[in-house]
Amino acid sequence: MARLSIREVDIIAPNFKKRLSGVTSTIAQLVPQQRAQGARIAALGPKGSLPENVPMLGWGAVFGLWQAPQGWPYRLWHARRNVEMLAGIIMRDILRMKLRLIFTSAAQRHHKAFTKYLIGKMDKVIATSARSGSYLRVPYQVIRHGVDLSAFTPPATAADKFAAAGLPGHYVIGCFGRIRYQKGTDLFVEAMVSLLPRYPQWTAVISGRITPEHKAFAEALKEKIAQAGLSERIIFLGEVPDIRPWYQSLTLYVAPSRNEGFGLTPLEAFASQTAVVASNAGAYPELVAPGTGAIVPAGDEKALEQAIEPYLAAPQMALAAGQAGLAHVRAHFPLKHEAEAINRVYEELLQEAAEKK
């Protein structure tokens, strides 16, 4: 998509991090959806940091922020990181640009003093879950993330199902995300080493990036799997270019994180008609409804294994939970609902600014 003129934009979603992250993925999904719903929004960030379909501003557009947009006294700056909040504060309070500031908080921990200071300077604050909101000391509104139901879909044909993956067994259980201690990959491996010998119809797959600082952690897991004689049944896929077909292949998805910001993977699994067992990290307890899977204490290896085993013993139970998960995510977590709710926050803030002007 060609870069937009600042005259076409009332709301700016800065994305100052070039590497892929959860925040980057959120912006990439939301901005096109929000613009399709009528919001005059565009992202701002390094070239190549977002997909081609995301409406973008060039850096030179910043100089247009001294001028108010047509019909409103201010533009909106929607930050999701500390550095983006800081940039907004400098532009609004020091450079006197015509801006009002919004921040979305996903963190589920007590904020450091500097972060508290930045958040206190925002005009509106959004929390991505009730738990993340509980750590805020300012008024906030909870808007949970949604999932793109046109991108993540249930298997439509036999070719979408597990048999097409060419792996041993009849059912597959998966764990996706960066391979590291925080994500609980080791907890999943321990559970699989214990359970799979008793359930030969199941195969486990693990997908995600292994960064250099976590290479030793990953190698230790592979060694544990090899020593258990399960290298052909607990398979590291690496970082696959498109994870969606693998979600469709799963009968059960496991999200064993020790800590998490929000955590979209259970919603992606539900949208693919896959049951979920998750820890109580992040927003997972707010996503997994009764009948769609199970929630266990974060970091509890035994509880994770005990929650997984009934689905391995009765695959039909997992299939039924996957169907319930699909209905649940379609009713409560479509991406368009998240976009609509955020757009309403924008409208409220613009109206408030106009009334005070």
Q: What is the pLDDT of residues 324-341, one digit of tens each?
A: 999 999 999 999 999 999
- Give residue 354's pLDDT: 77
Domain with 302, as residue range(s), is 158-332
* The two structure tokens encoding residue 342: 């955020």
Residue 187 and residue 116 in one domain: no
- Give residue 24's pLDDT: 86
Beta bridge partners of 57: 4, 44
Residue 184 and residue 131 in one domain: no
Check which CATH number belongs to the domain holding 127 and give it. Answer: 3.40.50.2000
Which stretch of DSSP H or E encloses residue 293? strand 293-296
Percent of residues, the chain, with pLDDT higher than 90:
78
Which stretch of DSSP H or E encloses residue 104? strand 99-105
- Give residue 107's pLDDT: 84
DSSP state of 39: -
Residue 103 and residue 163 in one domain: no
Residue 245 and residue 340 in one domain: no
Residue corresponding to tokens 């085993």: 309
Q: How many structural domains comprise the chain?
A: 2
Task: Give the DSSP letter string of 124-169.
Answer: EEEESSHHHHTT-SS--EE----B-TTTS----SGGGSGGGGT-SS
- Give residue 307's pLDDT: 98
What are the two backbone dihedrals, phi and then psi, of residue 265, each rounded to the nearest 5 degrees?
-60, -35
> What are the angstrom distances between the C-alpha of 110 and each of 39, 87, 102, 105, 189?
33, 22, 19, 12, 30
Q: Which runs of consecutive H residues, i.e. helices, occur in the chain?
A: 22-36, 82-89, 113-120, 130-133, 185-195, 215-227, 244-249, 265-271, 284-287, 301-313, 315-332, 335-356
- Listed as ranges, residues in the chain with pLDDT below 50 are none
